[in-house]
Amino acid sequence: MNKSKCKVGSNLRVLLEAINEVPYGTAFIEDGNNKLVGIVTDGDFRRLLLNGKGLEDLLLQEDLGDFVSAKEGENFDELLKKTNNKINIIPIVNSSNELIDYFEFKHKTKFTPVAEPTLENKELEYLLDAFSSTWISSRGKYIDRFEEEFSEFCNVKHGVATSNGTVAIHLALVALGIGPGDEVIVPDLTFAATINAVLYANATPVIVDIDPITWTIFPEEIEKAITSKTKAIIPVHVYGQACEMDKIMDIAQKHNLKVIEDCAEAHGAEFKGQRVGSFGDIATFSFFANKIITTGEGGMCVTNSKELDTTMRKLRDHGMSKEKRYWHDDIGFNYRMTNLQAAIGCAQLEKIEWILDRNDQIEKDYIKHLDHLNLFQWQKTYRQNRKVVWLMSCTTDKREQVMARLTSNNIDVRPFFYCLSEMPVYSKYLFSNKNALIISKIGLNLPTVKDIDYKRIASILSDL
C-alpha cells in the first residue's frame, strides 16, 4: 500500500508511477503531515491530462476532488454502503486521518437474461401440494385442472398436456394420420422443433417463405407449394405474432388440408379477436422455461374435436386401450406431463394476463427509451390483432454491433432463428425463402425480464 501513496506537490510522473504500482489503479494522496487529503484513480489521472497538465507538472491540492473514506473500525456493511454501488476503493484512516488500510469491492454488473420465468406467487405452494399428495407422475388433480383451464384460456374445448412442445407437434401429426409420403408445409423462420416433428412422423416437410412484415408464414407461398401429396400446414405464430389465419384456413379448406397451429411463442395472441390455438384442427403450445408461461419443460395440444382429443390421449400414453389396461391398439408414446409440472402450470396460468400486460409495458418502455437511436425497427402490431410480447423482437441493420455491445455488458440478446432452409439437414426441403433469408439476418430479440435498465442500454448503444 505504501507504494500507492503520493504527496501533494509531487509531479504527475510520480503520481502515475504510484497508480501504476497497484492492481487497483488508485493513488492515495497525503499532505506534508501524512494526512490523507485525496485519492486519484487512473480515470482521474486521464482527466488531469485532458485538462492540460503535463507529466512534469505538480499535483496541487486544488486538483483533488471530493472523496469517500472510512474510519478505522467501520464494519463490512458500513463500508459496502459507502461504495454506493459504484466506488471500488475506499481508504480507511485512523483518528489522526492517516491512511492505515483500504477497502476494495469489485462491482459486477448484474447479468440480464433474455427471458426468465416469474415463479413468485402460487407456484411453490401448488408444487408442494402436488409433491405431498405423492401424485408426482402423470396422474393427479393438477393435470386435469391445467388441461381444462389452459384449453379454456384458448377458447378451445379440449387440452392434452404433453412433456414438451416438440412432442406436442408430433402427437398432433400422428393423431391426424400424417405419415410417410405426406407433405407438410412449414415456415422457413421457426425453431427447428416444428420441422423436426414432421420428420419424426416420417412425413416430408416443405419449407415456405414468410411475410416480410409479419415474419409469419406467407399464405400466397403456401398456396404455391401445395401438391397432390400435401396433407397439412403448420403455421407458426412466431415471436408472438398471429399468422393470417383467415387466409390460411381458407386455403386449407379449399385443398382439404389439416392445420396444426404452432403456438409455442404466442400464448394469448389473437387474430381478429380470436385466440390463436382455436383456428386449426389442433394447436400446440410449449411451456419451456423461457416461454410466456412455463412448467419447466412441458407442452399441450388443444383441439375442439372430441375424437382427436381421445386419439391424442391414447397415443400420449403408449397407445394403451382405455378399457383394457396393458392392451395396445396403436404404437404410441410416453409423451405425458407430470402432475408436478402441471401444478406449476396452474399457478402460471393464474397470472398469464399479468405477464402479458407486463411484457406489453416492457415493449412500450423499450420504444420510449431506444427509439431515438434510430437503430431498431420494432415488430409491427396490427390493430385488429393482439400481438403478444414474448421477447422484444425487432430488426436492425447493425445487429452484430448491437449484439457485441450488449453481450459484453452482460445483457443477453438473441439473434432470430437461422432459416431452416440454410441448414444442411433441412435445405433439401426448401420451396421458397427469399424474405426469410433477409429477416433472419437482421432480426434480434432483446430481454423481456423485470428491472431492465433501458437508460443503460440506450447509453451503451448511443454511438452506433
Ligand X SMILES: Cc1ncc(COP(=O)(O)O)c(C=O)c1O
**Interface residues with ligand X (CB under 6 A)?**
164-166, 190-191, 193-194, 236, 262, 264-265, 286, 288, 299
Distance CA 414, CA 436 (A): 17
Q: Which is nearer to ligand X, 45 or 279 (CB)?
A: 279
Q: How many residues does the chain have?
A: 464
**Residue that has been written with the C-alpha cell 472523496 in this structure:** 67
- Nearer Cβ to ligand X (194/348): 194
Q: How far is the CB of 193 from ligand X (least distance, A)?
A: 4
Q: Which is nearer to ligand X, 243 or 457 (CB)?
A: 243
DSSP 284-306: EEE-BTTSSS--BS-EEEEES-H
How many whole angstroms separate alpha carbon 323 and alpha carbon 327?
A: 9
Q: How far is the CB of 263 from ligand X (least distance, A)?
A: 8
By CB atoms closer than 10 A (0-12, 13-18, 19+), residue 305 is middle
Residue with cell 427509451: 369
Q: Which three cell numbers stand for residue 335?
A: 409423451
Q: Please name the residues in contact with 323: beta carbons below 8 A apart, sequence gap of 6 or more.
A: none
Which CB sits closer to ligand X, 28 or 288?
288
Minimum distance between the CB of residue 155 and ligand X, rounded to whole angstroms?
Answer: 21
Residue nearer to ligand X on the CB measure, 53 or 170: 170
Query: Among residues 153 and 191, whose Cβ is nearest to ligand X?
Result: 191
Residue nearest to ligand X (CB): 165
Distance between CA 277 and CA 307 in Å, rounded?
17
Cβ atoms of 264 and 291 within 8 Å: the answer is: yes
Which residue lies nearer to ligand X by CB, 191 or 218?
A: 191
Amino acid at 24: Y
Least Cβ distance, residue 15 to ligand X (angstroms)? 56
Helix 12-21 / helix 42-50 crossing angle, nearest 10 deg: 160
Q: Which is nearer to ligand X, 286 or 379 (CB)?
A: 286
Dig out the grid coordinates for 318 from the structure: 403408449
Q: How far is the CB of 386 from ligand X (least distance, A)?
A: 18
Concatenated DSSP letters of 110-122 = PPB-S------SS
Measure the CA–CA gap between 460 and 464, rounded to whole angstroms: 9
CB of 217: closest distance to ligand X in angstroms? Answer: 11
CB of 299 to ligand X, least distance (A): 5
At its nearest, how many Å lie between ligand X and the CB of residue 458? 29
